Amino acid sequence: MTPRDRLIFALDVDNADEAENLVRLLAPEVGVFKVGLELFVSAGPEVISRVRRAGAKAIFLDLKLHDIPATMRAAARSAVGLGVDLITCHADQAGIFADMDLGGASLLGVTVLTSLGAEELGAMGYPPELCDPQALVLRRASLALAAGCAGVVCSGREAAAVRGLLGPEALVVCPGIRPASAETHDQKRVMTPERAMAAGASHIVVGRPIRTAADPVAAAQAMVQGIAAGLAQRSPA
């Protein structure tokens, strides 16, 4: 896997034309294009084939499924039928898919959204011992592991602990990535690409820092350089 293959770009736009333009522009720099709720709900399932035709080598359909088992299984079957490479559910629900054939798609369990910190977890009713995001992330990562997920989504701040729990082969996918001193937007648990990769991330997810940059291609290239620099800092296993 090259550093570029480890960069996931979030296509968080509300129409397929804009998504296609971004894929054409960024395909040489980006390994995986992520279609999330905004684009999927606005543009419909056809957007997946349009993104692929525009040049995406790999597609991550990030719907973060969370529902009753019958609905989850039916939705996953349809998502897999679209020919995507990665899908997500909330990690505490991953067991619902444990006996399911997901074809060529890898399942990732979303642990704790990177927009949540200790204060938000407390307000949501978590007991004090689970208001430390890392404690909750690890609890959910072990559920994902038990369910046979290919990996998890967590922030770079938990990447080292999660890597330790899941072992060297698991996918550890980290959103909430910001260059040093950049705006954090609605994200709480942010980290630079270098530090997330050095800590053990397999991939980083980046949206606004590339999409809203004056030069998105240069911003994506800088992310890939950050990935390479972080990998170089990893101590050999």
Which residues make up the interface to ligand C5P (CB under 6 A)?
10, 12, 36, 62, 110, 113-114, 153, 175-176, 185, 187, 205-209
Task: Select 96 or 114, whichever has its Cβ closest to ligand C5P.
Answer: 114
Nearest residue by C-beta to ligand C5P?
A: 207
Q: Residue 155 CB, nearest distance to ligand C5P (Å)?
A: 7
Q: Residue 211 CB, nearest distance to ligand C5P (Å)?
A: 7
Q: What are phi and psi of 171, to 5 degrees?
A: -80, 130
Task: Select 4 or 208, whichever has its Cβ closest to ligand C5P.
Answer: 208
As annotated, the active-site residues are: 64
User: H-helix or E-strand containing 110?
Assistant: strand 106-110
102 Cβ partners below 8 Å, 6+ apart? 76, 80, 87
| Residue 235 DSSP label | P
Q: Residue 160 CB, nearest distance to ligand C5P (Å)?
A: 17
Q: Quick one: 198 exposed, middle or buried, by C-beta within 10 A (0-12, 13-18, 19+)? A: buried
Task: Select 70 or 144, whichever has its Cβ closest to ligand C5P.
Answer: 144
Contact between residue 234 and residue 17 where contact means Cβ atoms under 8 Å apart: no
Quote the Cα angle for 205-38-180, to 5°. 30
By three-state DSSP, how is residue 204 classified?
Answer: strand
Q: Residue 235 CB, nearest distance to ligand C5P (Å)?
A: 26
**Of 78, 15, 82, nearest to 52 (Cα)?**
82
Q: Residue 99 CB, nearest distance to ligand C5P (Å)?
A: 25
Alpha carbons 140 and 110: distance in angstroms, whole number: 8
74 Cβ partners below 8 Å, 6+ apart? none
Q: Quick one: 98 exposed, middle or buried, by C-beta within 10 A (0-12, 13-18, 19+)? A: exposed
Task: Select 99 or 204, whichever has its Cβ closest to ligand C5P.
Answer: 204
Pull the structure tokens for residue 147.
């369910």
Task: Select 72 or 205, whichever has its Cβ closest to ligand C5P.
Answer: 205
